Structure 1
Amino acid sequence: MFTGIVQGTAEVVAIQEAEAFRTHVVALPGSLGEELAIGASVAHNGVCLTATAIDGERVSFDLMRETLRVTNLGELAVGDRVNIERAARFGDEIGGHAMSGHIMAQAELVELDEAPNNRRLWFELPHALGRFLFAKGYIGVDGASLTIGEVRRATAEHGPRFCVDLIPETLHRTILGVRVPGDRVNIEIDPQTQAIVETVERVLETRGI
């Protein structure tokens, strides 16, 4: 389990390609790699990956075909950076919201509003996920637990959209501070929101509503 509190960013230092498979190596300095063991779970841009090899600060992670298809990790190149969160441990402070590290889709950054000391980002989601968007609800964006500011419902021209407002600390600690329109981010819908919406839909369906 993860909390969506990104602990820092890490650089991709090597990539090994295979058919429908990729191993990437990231540098995890200091506390990001402290006491890390093979088999440990580490979120990269919100994707739960397993450490498969450790050589000092260089840690390897395998990306399977489904991970490459659903997430933005397949677009990474050497020198790119990813948001990093180590798996939550019992007793840790839960400052964000419970996240599984299982990405549902990608969203495109379509609008950027810069203002002193904060940044508003508008993202467009696939149509099927619009029903999970609520103002002041939680959402995971590239592994960061964020609060939805506003929601724009889908139109004939575009899919559902939502915005998030980022404080300087989030901009400093994550890669969201360097995202530009056209970039694609990983999205994890808040599991509780997903469960409630799908349960209500099933109940209404059984009642013919």
Structure 2
Amino acid sequence: MFTGIVEELGEITGVEPQGDSVELAVRGPLVTQDAVHGASIAVNGVCLTVVDVKGEVFTADVIKETLGKSSLGALEPGSKVNLERPLRLSDRLGGHLVQGHVDGVGTIISREPGERWDVVTVSLPHDLARYIVDKGSITVDGISLTVVEAGADRFSVALIPTTLALTTLGHKTPGDPVNLEVDVVAKYVERMLGDRS
């Protein structure tokens, strides 16, 4: 379980094809400090299992399913990625409950620069729209964000200077893909209430 509070901006140092999967090598000086084989680290919002750690670089296997349902397949050496270690039970929950299980991929539609922040609009797969509400939570590339406006096929978020400076969203442009994870609480509520149509 994660919070969507990115700990550091890491960098892909290697992408090694392994048949129908890839091995990613990721540089992250902070997240590797206590990383061990079998630990979890969220990479752009995708929970990956650490295979090996050498200095500031960890490796993780990414299977075909994950490559097909996230934007990780588009990464290449030099790509910047958002990194977060899992939440400890004693930690503050600064963002919201994030599982690291991507629900879909959106595309940045537009950026509107403000005086100190940007408003970014992201396309939304149709089947996820029911989980997004104004002022609700969404995870974009592993970043816990508050929805400014929810629509049938898009939503907008406002990015504060810290988010712009310390995450991949400060560098993404219209047309770039982003991983989306909706608030898990909304999915549980839907399941408990069942189909009421």
1:1-209 equivalences under 5 Å are: 1-29=1-29, 31-153=30-152, 160-200=153-193, 202-204=194-196, 209=197
Provide TM-score, normalisation by structure 1. 0.91
Kindly state the Cα deviation for residue 23 of structure 1 after the two structures are TM-superposed.
0.2
Gaps in structure 1 of 5+ consecutive residues: 154-159
Kindly state the Cα deviation for residue 199 of structure 1 after the two structures are TM-superposed.
3.1
| d(CA) in 2 for partners of 1:83, 1:131 | 26
Q: Which amino acid aligns with 1:183?
A: D
* CA distances 1:13-65 after superposition (whole Å, capped 9, x unpaired): 11111221000101121x32212111100000000001101111121010001
Q: Which amino acid aligns with 2:45?
A: G
Gaps in structure 2 of 5+ consecutive residues: none
Q: Secondary structure at the match of 2:88?
A: coil
Kindly state the Cα deviation for residue 197 of structure 1 after the two structures are TM-superposed.
2.9
Change (3 A) 1:203 1:21: closer
With 166-175 and 189-198 compared, the bigger mean Cα shift is at: 189-198
Kindly state the Cα deviation for residue 10 of structure 1 after the two structures are TM-superposed.
0.5
RMSD: 1.0
* CA distances 1:139-168 after superposition (whole Å, capped 9, x unpaired): 010000101000222xxxxxx110000100
* CA distances 1:155-206 after superposition (whole Å, capped 9, x unpaired): xxxxx11000010011111100011000110000100012123433x151xx
Q: Which amino acid aligns with 2:132?
A: L
Provide TM-score, normalisation by structure 2. 0.97
Taking only the aligned residue pairs, the percentage that are identical comes to 37
| d(CA) in 2 for partners of 1:132, 1:203 | 14
Q: Which amino acid aligns with 2:84?
A: E
Kindly state the Cα deviation for residue 128 of structure 1 after the two structures are TM-superposed.
1.0
